[in-house]
Amino acid sequence: MKYLQVIPLFLILVACGNPQEEDSNEPIAPSYTPLPYIGMHDISPGDTIYHVVPQFTLLNQDSTTITNELVQGKIHVANFFFTSCPAICPAMIEQMKRFQEMTADIDELMILSHTIDPERDSIPKLNKYIQDREIDTRNWHFLYGERAYVHELGKEGYMVNAMEDDAAEGGFLHSEHFVLVDREGHIRGLYVGTDTEEVNKLNDDIRKLIANEYH
């Protein structure tokens, strides 16, 4: 009987709500959950210091030196691949092409794809790869650097796997994630680069980040 008595009381409470609130035509602002900060961070008195992608110096497909200055104050998305990858790389690159098309209106966005196999992926090889796949390089850079340097940048900088592994297809083990980095160099999301819905979410999260005053 106690349970039966609770139900009408609940209905009374609902019915006695403020009619002005029920009839209000005021639009309800959509809620926004800030994107997380990914990576190790330190807490100092009154402040939190989040992980930042470290400074880097690499060459792109045009043999142009690319440093952090390219992405300073801009959003960028990074991934790691190699041109002879027989497994996930082709799907990742196709998804990145689709992502580039979806975000064509975001002027500040930069895309950085790092080869983890520079011995085979020479700059001419990168250019052939780009040409064969009809990739638009207006805001997409294919980056080349010494192998240990790039592997370290992947693991310690972007928080993703990039390493040699004889047991892996093609001789390298690397992450399938696209890494979202904000204007201050903080990692704000990891997205499976072979999954259409995940890449769609990456697009959505970038737009939310910008629309909500970059929180």
Q: Is the CB of residue 178 less than 8 Å from the CB of residue 188?
A: no
Give the pLDDT confidence score for residue 49 in this predicted structure.
86
Exposed (0-12), middle (13-18) or buried (19+): which is 101, by Cβ within 10 Å? exposed
Query: Residue ranges per domain, the chain?
Result: 55-210
pLDDT in tens, 31-67: 678 899 998 777 777 688 899 999 999 999 999 999 9
How much is the pTM?
Answer: 0.81
pLDDT in tens, 127-155: 999 999 999 999 999 999 999 999 999 99
Interatomic CA distance for residues 161 and 170, integer angstroms: 15
- CATH architecture type of domain 55-210: 3-Layer(aba) Sandwich (3.40)
pLDDT in tens, 58-85: 999 999 999 999 999 999 999 999 999 8
Interatomic CA distance for residues 120 and 206, integer angstroms: 33
Interacting residues of 64 by C-beta distance below 8 A, sequence separation 6+: none
- The CA-atom distances, in angstroms, between 123 and each of 126, 144, 173 are 5, 7, 21
